[in-house]
Amino acid sequence: MSSRPAEQVERVPTAAPSRLPRSLHPGAWWLWALALAVAAGRTTNPLLLGMIIAVAALVVAARRSSAPWAVGFRWYLLMGALVVALRVVFRMLTAGDGPTVLFTLPRFELPSFAAGISLLGPVSAEAILAGFYDGLRLATLIVCVGAANSLANPKRLLAAVPSALYEVGTVLVISVSVFPQLVESVQRVRRARSLRCSPSRGRHALRGIIIPVLADALDRSLLLAAAMDSRGYGRRTDIDQRARRVTSALLLAGLIGIGVGAYGLMDAHSPAYLGGPLMFAGIAVGAAGFAWSGRRVRRSRYRPDHWRAVDGLVAACGAVGSATFFVADVVELYPSANPLAWPTLPLLPVIGLLIAAAPAVLAPPPGGRP
Amino acid sequence: MIDLTDVTFSYGTSPVLANVNLHIPEGELVLVAGPTGSGKSTLLGLLNGLVPHFSGGTLRGRVTVGGLSTAEHPPREFAAGVGVVGQDPLAGFVTDTVEEELAYGMEQLAVPAAVMRKRVEETLDLLGIAELRDRGLRTLSGGQQQRVAIGSVLAAGPRVLVLDEPTSALDPTSAEDVIAAVVRLVHDLGITVLMAEHRMERVAQYADRLVIVRGDGTVESGDPVTLMATSPIVPPVVELGRLADWSPLALSIRDARRLAGPLRDRLAGSAPVRRPVSTAQPLVRACGLTVRYGSVIAVREVDLLLRPAETTVVMGRNGSGKSSLLWALTGALKRSGGTVDVRGEDPAGLTGGSSRRLLTLVPQTAADLLYLNTVAAECAAADAESQAIPGTCRTLAGRIAGPLAGEANPRDLSEGQRLGLVLAIQLTGAPAVILLDEPTRGLDYRAKARLAAVLSELSDEGKALLIATHDVEFAAQLADRVLVMAQGEIVVDGPALEVLAASPSLAPQVAKVLFPEPWLTVDQVARALSDTVRRGRPC
C-alpha cells in the first residue's frame, strides 16, 4: 500500500492560471487581423504578402477552436486564390502594355460607343505580373478577414459592441440565422412543388415557390417578434430627442473620421495628416458617441468577454508588425513590375511579421470560457 | 394569480371570447382544451397582453395577472412575471446557443451578471439540459428544443408559465420528457402553468383544472374529472370510462386499470375484428432504399412492400428517417441507393403528371403545396396538373374536408380543412399509393376522426396507405401494419395489434388500460360490447 495515491501527485498545476484554455476577447483577434490587413494594404511585394498569408494561416491553425464558424478558413484561402486568378485573367483581357510579350491573342476592337477600348491582343509578362501583385494584395486582405472570423466568433464580437449598438447587433444576429431558414424553406417548398408536378420553370413556378416561402417567412417573423416582445425586448428608458441627435452626430462624425483615416493609412501616397491622426480622432469621437448613448440603455450582459493582458499583447503584436510597414523603404514595399524586377525581402517588415506571428504561441489555447 | 373579469374579445364583429370569467389561483396546472380555432390561443395570449397589444382586436373587460392589468402594461413589462412558449420553439429563439438563449430574457430585464450566472445554472439543472449548454439550438432534437424554450422563459423567474401546444411536434417519449419537466415545475416551484394541448391524453392526468374553450365564446373551468363527463373532446381513456360507465371517470392509466377489472372480464374471450391480411400483389416494392445527407445516413438499406387495401403506419423518434423514407419513395428526394418500383415504374424517373397517377405524398407542412388565392383556383390548378376532368378536385375536397367556399383563401381555412384540401389536391390524379407525413399535427379529436374515416374509406377502395406519425392513438385507429424506424432502419415490422399493444411507449391508452387483452381503440371495445349484448339476448 502506497502512502499517496498516484493521481494526487499528478494534480499539480502545470501551467500558470493565465495559460488556461480560454477564448480571447474577439476584439483582440480582430485588431490583430486588421493590423495585418493594414500591412498588406501597404505593399505589393509578393514575398511579404505571401508571408502575411503564412502568418495568418499559422496562427489560425494554432489557435482556432472547433466551433462551426472556425472551420471556414480554407474557404477564404480559396476565395483569395480565385481573386488572384480573376485579376490575372482580367489583365490579359484588357491587354496591358509591356515590352516582354509572352504570346498574342486575337485582338477585338469594341464598337464606337466604347471607343478606345480594345480587348485581348499581345499579352505581356509585365501586365500579368502587375495583375498578380494587385490580386495577391486583395487576396491577402480577404485572408486576414477570414483569419479574424475563424479565430473569434463574429457573434461574440457583436455581443461586445457598446450597448448603443445592441439593437443593430440583435438585428444582425437574427438576419444571420434567418438566412439558412430561408434557404431551408425554399428547398422544402421546391420539393413540395415537385409533388404537384407543376412546371418547374417560368413565372408560374416562381410564384408557386415565392408565395409559400414568403408566407412562411412572414409567419416566422411574427412569431419571433411576439416571442421577443414577451421576453422583454425593447424595455428601455426613453431617450429624449436632443440626446438622440447628439448621439447620431457623434457616431456619424466618428465614422467619417475612421473612413477617411483608413484611406489615408492604406494609401502610401496620401499626406500624413490624413492617416493616423484623423483615424484616431474618428475613433475618439465615435467612442464618445457610444458612451453617450450607452449610458441610457438598461440591460445587462451574460458572461461578457474580458480584456486581459494577453488580449492586449495579441493586438500589440499585430500593431507592431503593421508599424514596420510604415517605416520600411517604399521601393522595397512596391517592387517594380515594369521593368520586370525580382522583388527583394526587406529586413524590417520580416521582423515585424515574425512578431505578428507570435500569438500562435502567446495566446492561450482556445476553448473553455471567455 | 390570474383573473379574467367579464372579458369579451373580438377581431371583427363576432366575439372569439364572450363574457369570460376565469380565476386561477397560484400553483395550478391548468389544461386548456377545445376544438381547433375555438380561441384557445387567444385565451392564452390574453395572459401577457400579446392579445390585444400584438394581435390587434377589441378587448373589453379586465385581465390581471399577478396584480398587473394587461390593459395598462404592454407584453414586455410582463416578461418578468409571465413566460410564454409557443408551438414551434425554433421560431422563438433569438440567439444561437443554449446558454445564451437562457440568458437572453434576463439580459433584457437587466438582471445583474452574477445573478444571471446562478439562474442559468439552476435552470439547466431544473430542466435536465445541463449537458446541452454549449450546443447550437438548431442541432437539438425537438424535445430538447422545447425544454430549452421553457427554460429560457423560466430563467427570468416568472410565476406563470403559458404553453401553447408544447408537444404537438414531438414523438411520444420526448413529449413525456417535456410534460414531466413542466409537472416538476408545478410541484417543486409552485409555478402556475396554463397549457393548451390537443392530445389531452398526454396531460389530462396531471391537470388540477380543466378549462374548456367551447368555440362559441364561452369558457368553462373546473375540476377535470367532473368536466370531462360533458366535455366535447376527451382523451381515449375518458371515452372508455364513459363507455363502461365509470364514476368518477379515471384520467390516468393507473386509475383506469383499477376500475377496468370488470370490463376486462366482459371482454375476455372476444377479440377485435381484424381486417384480413392483404395478400394481393404489392403496389410498391422498395429494395435497399438508402438516403444520405452528406455523412449522415437518414435511411439505411430499407426493404419495403406496400399492398393494396393495406394501411401501414411508420413510427419512430424525431429524426429516425420516417420523412426521408416517404420522400425517397416519391422520387422527389434523391435516393443514394436501392430501387423503388411502383406498379412496374420508378417514380423518380417520371416527369409531369404521370407520377401523380402512381403515388402521392401529403407533406408535413401541407400548406407548402398551396400558393393560389382561392380554393377554387387551387382545385382548378390541381385538375390541370393531373389532366383530370375539371371539377374532380372540387368534388374530392367536398367529400374530404366538408363544404368549402370556393372563393375562400386556403390560408384562412382551419388546419383540418387545409389538410383536407391538400389531400384532395393530391388525390386528384387518382394515385394507387398515398403517403402521408404527420397528418394529425394541429388537428383536434374531431378533425382526426374525420381524417381517419376518409383514410379508411380510401383503404377500402384498394389504395395502399403509408402514414408517418407520432400519434399513437391515430395509428391505433387506422393501422393494419406498423413499422418502427430507428436510425434509418426498420427495426419492427408487424401487425398493428401486436406491435402497438406490446410496446411501452407506442401503446395507445386503451391497450394500456386493458392489457393483457389485445384492444387498441375505444371503437373496437364498443363494437365488441354491443356484440356481446346482442348475443346475450337471444330473441
- At B487-504, the pLDDT tens digits run 999 999 999 999 998 888
Q: How confident is the model at residue B536 (pLDDT cuts 50, 70, 90)?
A: low
Residue A196 Cα, gap to closest chain B Cα (Å): 7
Question: Among partner residues B79, B368, B371, which is closest to A207 by beta-carbon distance?
Answer: B371
The torsion angles phi and psi of A272, rounded to 5 degrees, stand at -65, -35
Q: Please give the residue that has the higher pLDDT: either B168 or A59.
A: A59
pLDDT value at residue A8: 42
Q: Can you read off the three cell numbers belonging to residue A3?
A: 502512502
Cβ atoms < 10 Å from Cβ of B534: 9
Continuous segment of H or E residues that includes residue B340: strand B337-342
- Mind listing the pLDDT tens digit for each residue in A184-232? 888 888 888 888 766 556 677 788 788 888 888 888 888 888 888 888 8
Chains A and B form CB pairs within 8 A to the count of 154
Instruction: Name the DSSP class of B66.
Output: T
Q: What is the mean pLDDT of chain B?
A: 89
pLDDT of res. A161: 65
Q: Would the CB atoms of B333 and A191 count as touching at under 8 Å?
A: yes
A-chain residues within 8 Å CB-CB of B112? Answer: 300
| ipTM score assigned to the predicted complex | 0.86
Using a CB-CB cut-off of 8 Å, the residues of chain B touching A301 are 107, 113
Q: Is B8 helix (H, G, I), strand (E, B) or coil?
A: strand
pLDDT of residue A216: 84
Q: Which band of pLDDT confidence, cut at 50, 70 and 90, is reported for residue B152?
A: very high
| Confidence (pLDDT) at A12 | 45
Residue B117 above 50 pLDDT? yes
Verify whether the Cβ–Cβ distance A299 to B79 is below 8 Å.
no
User: Cα dihedral angle (A199, A203, A206, A207), rounded to 10 degrees?
Assistant: -100
Q: How far apart are CA B305 and CA B295, in angstroms?
A: 27
State which residue of chain B sits closest to A207, comparing Cα positions: B371
Tell me which residues of chain A have a pLDDT lower than 70. Answer: 1-19, 68-69, 95-96, 110-118, 159-167, 173, 176-177, 197-202, 235-241, 268, 293-298, 368-370
pLDDT at residue A124, rounded to an integer:
83
| SS3 state of residue B184 | helix
Name the 3-class secondary structure at B280: coil
pLDDT at B169: 81
**Cα distance from A297 to chain B (closest Cα, Å)?**
9
Question: Which has more pLDDT, A272 or B147?
Answer: B147
How confident is the model over B413-442, as a mean pLDDT?
Answer: 89
User: What's residue A4's pLDDT?
Assistant: 44
CB contact under 8 A, B370 and A212: yes
Q: Do B365 and A192 touch (CB under 8 A)?
A: yes
Chain B residue with the nearest C-alpha to that of A224: B92
Q: Which of A155, A219, A301 sits opposite B96 (nearest CB)?
A: A155
User: Which tens digit of pLDDT belongs to each residue from B365-388?
Assistant: 888 888 888 999 999 988 888 888
Of the candidate ranges B10-14, B115-119, B478-482, the one whose mean pLDDT is the lowest: B10-14
Concatenating the DSSP letter of every residue in A149-185 gives HHHS-HHHHHHTS-GGGHHHHHHHHHHHHHHHHHHHH
> In angstroms, rounded to a whole number, what is the distance separating the alpha carbons of residues B482 and B494?
6
Using CB atoms, pick whichever of A193, A195, A298 lies closest to residue B361: A195
State residue B538's pLDDT score. Answer: 43
**pLDDT higher than threshold 60 for residue B22:** yes
pLDDT at B535: 61
* CB contact at 8 A, B509 and B201: yes
Q: What digits encode the pLDDT tens for the residues B214-254?
A: 888 899 999 999 999 888 889 999 999 999 999 889 999 99
For B523, other C-beta atoms within 10 Å of its C-beta total: 18
pLDDT at B534: 63
Give residues with Cβ within 8 angstroms of A50, minimum separation 6: A136
pLDDT at A240: 65
Query: According to the model, what pLDDT value does residue B422 have?
Result: 92
Per-residue model confidence as pLDDT tens digits over B41-100? 899 999 999 988 888 899 999 999 988 999 888 888 898 899 999 888 888 888 878 998
- Please say whether the beta carbons of B429 and B360 come within 8 A: yes
Residues B340, B466 contacting (CB under 8 angstroms): no
